[in-house]
Amino acid sequence: MPDASTYAVAESLLAFWAEAGVDAVLLDEPLDRIEAGKILPPRPAPSPLAVATPPPRPGSVVAAAPDVSAAVAQAQALAAAAHDMEALAAAIAGFEGCGLRFEGASTKAVCWRGLQGAPVMVIGEGPGAEEDQQGLPFVGRAGKLLDKMLAAAGLSDRVLITNTVFWRPPGNRTPAPHEQAICQPFLERAIQLTAPKMLLLAGGASAKSLLKKDEGILSLRGRWFEWRSSDGAIELPAMPTLHPAFLLRQPGAKKRAWSDLLTFTERLDRPERPA
C-alpha cells in the first residue's frame, strides 16, 4: 500500500494541474482514433415520448434556484449607501444574500486587513478556516507566506488585502462564480473607496472572476490586464499571480511569483509621466 507521502505527492501534483487549468487526462491505453472513426456508431434508439411534469401538489415544498439577480441588486444598494470602509464592512456583515454565510462559515464576515487608502489592493479567492475564526483575510499559513513576500518586495505597508467573497466556502472549496457575482458590488465599492493605483490578483479564481477570463492561472500570471468596474467608471492595471496556498504545495513555483512581484512593484514605483 502507498504510504502517506505518496498520497501527499499525488494530491500536490493534481492541485498543480488543476491550478494550471487542466481538466482532462490521457487514457491508460493508447487509442487509434483514426481507425475508431471508420466504424459507424450504432443508431440511437428512438427517444421515448416526453412525460409532462405534473404540477406541484398544494402545500408541497419546491426547491427554488437561488435568485442571484435579487441578491446582486440588494448588494449593490447596500454598497452604494456605504460612504466609508467602516460602513461598508457593516453592510457586508449584515448581508444575508450570499449562501456562503449559511454553509459552514461563521456569521462573522471576513472583509479586509491592511492600509485603507493603500496604493495596492491584493485580492484573493475566499477565506479559509483560520480566516473565518479570526475575521481577517490571509492569516493562516498562506497569509504568512504572502506577508513575507510583500515585505521582501517593499509592499508591507502599502496594501489592503481582501477576497472575492467574504465568507468561508465549505471545505475551503473554490468560490462559485455566482457567489463571487453576489459579493462583487461590495468588492467594487471597496476598490472605489480605497482608490488603489493597482490590483494584485492572487490565484486563478480571483483572476478569472475580476478579469472575466477562462485561462488558467499559469497562463495569466505575470501579465498586465485592465480591470474595469461594472459601470465602467473605474479602470485599473491588474496583474494575476500565483496564490500563496499554491506556492505552499509547489515551492518550486515561488520563483515565478517573486518575478511577478518584482514586475508589479517596478510599475508601481515608476515615476509619473509629466502631464
Segment 191-247, tens digit of pLDDT: 999 999 999 999 999 999 999 999 999 999 999 999 999 999 999 999 999 999 999
Q: In what order do the strands lie in the sheet with 159-163?
A: 113-114, 159-163, 120-124, 198-202, 235-241, 225-228
Domain 68-268 has CATH 3.40.470.10: yes
- Give the residue extent of every domain in the chain: 68-268
* Grid cell locating 273: 509621466
Residues whose CB falls within 8 Å of the CB of residue 132, separated by 6 or more in sequence, listed in order: 105, 106, 108, 110, 167, 168
Range from 62-71, 98-107, 207-216, 245-254 carrying the lowest mean pLDDT: 62-71
Range from 66-70, 138-142, 162-166, 175-179 carrying the lowest mean pLDDT: 66-70
In sequence order, what are the beta bridge partners of 228? 235
The pLDDT assigned to 214 comes to: 94
pLDDT band for 56, please (50, 70, 90 cuts): low
What is the share, in percent, of the chain residues with pLDDT greater than 90?
A: 71
pLDDT of 49 higher than 50: no
pLDDT of 65 higher than 50: no
Nearest-CA neighbor of 174 among 100, 72, 121, 95?
100
pLDDT band for 67, please (50, 70, 90 cuts): confident
pLDDT of 248 higher than 60: yes
